[in-house]
Structures are given as C-alpha cells and as structure tokens.
Amino acid sequence: MTTHIQHIASVLQRHMTLYGYELIDLPIIEPVDLFLIKAGDPIINALFTFERHNRQLALRPEFTAGAAAHYTQLHPNESPAVRWQYSGSIFQDPPGNASSAYQHHSI
C-alpha cells in the first residue's frame, strides 16, 4: 500500500472512530461457502479458491460476507446495532481482463 493510500486510510479511520465506528480486523482467508451462499455471479466468478486440509477456502473478494459472519459469531442470539469499519486487501480475478490487478485495497 502506498504512503498516500495509507494516509487516506488513516484519516478516514480516525474520522470514523470519532463517530463511534470500531475498527475490526477480518480474515483474509475464509471458507469458500461463505461467499457462495449469497454472492452474485460477479463475486463467484472472481473468487480465488484453493483447497487446504480437505477444506475449500477463498481469498476474500469483499468485506460484507466476512463482517456478517463475524457479527453472527459475536451475537448468536441477539441483534444489537454495531458500528464497524474495516479496510484491507481484497482479491478478485476479473473475468476477461488479464491486465487488471488481482489485489486491491478497500477502505
């Protein structure tokens, strides 16, 4: 990540913290089923998947599914409102675009 992007991310994170948004860290590698259940074709077709110890895994293509899974783990029997912020690398293999970067930083 370039210094310029780091600066922008830092400013946004500080600003969002002032409004009560907690910075959370989400896994880069998740079970592939997390993305296959509700994701649309653009996400499914762009997944980087692999198998490890007989488990199908994927590099995260976005944050929403991981944040939802994290929420249900923390609050299995209740639904309190939360304010979260997250940023980091996401990985997508855009179909038909071999010249595109596979790793992006999402804020």
List pLDDT tens digits, range 24-72: 999 999 999 998 887 777 777 888 999 999 999 999 999 999 999 999 9
Domain boundaries, the chain: 3-90
- For the segment 12-27, the average pLDDT, to the nearest whole number, is 96
Separation between Cα atoms, residue 101 and residue 66, nearest integer Å: 22
Per-residue confidence (pLDDT) for residue 44, from 0 to 100: 79
pLDDT band at 1 (very low <50, low <70, confident <90, very high): low
Torsion of CA 65, 66, 68, 69, to 10 degrees: 120
Whole-prediction pTM? 0.81
Residue 12, pLDDT above cutoff 70: yes
Residues whose CB is less than 8 angstroms from the CB of residue 58 and which lie 6 or more positions away in sequence, other chains included: 29, 30, 31, 32, 34, 35, 47, 48, 49, 50
Separation between Cα atoms, residue 59 and residue 103, nearest integer Å: 10
